Amino acid sequence: MNTSKEFKEAYFNYIGSITLPIEVVHSCGHGGDCTNDIIECMQLPEIKAELAEIDPKQLVKELEEYGAWDETELQDHNNNLERILWLAASSILEELD
């Protein structure tokens, strides 16, 4: 029985890459509101470890590039981690199509 997981990477300018299991990509990158799925996936040990490596200041720089959030919104690091997980999953999902 093959129990190995498939992983995919999303690449960013300021924070490098984020590696996600394919099931997390599908859970967090689908159409519609992904908030609950993202919060749930952020509790997974492999996702916690991946997100813990991200420098908060570099993450803000990364998200500023998108122009979707203002300075006040970007002050909450946990919300920024949710945003980057969603962006990573969505980016990978687009590549898979």
Question: Given this model, what pLDDT does residue 5 score?
Answer: 81
State the pLDDT at residue 30.
87
**From first to last of its 97 residues, what are the pLDDT tens digits of the chain?**
445 689 999 999 999 999 999 999 999 998 899 999 999 999 999 999 999 999 999 999 999 999 999 999 999 999 999 999 999 999 999 998 7
H or E element, residue 10: strand 7-12
Q: Which residue ranges make up each domain of the chain?
A: 7-96
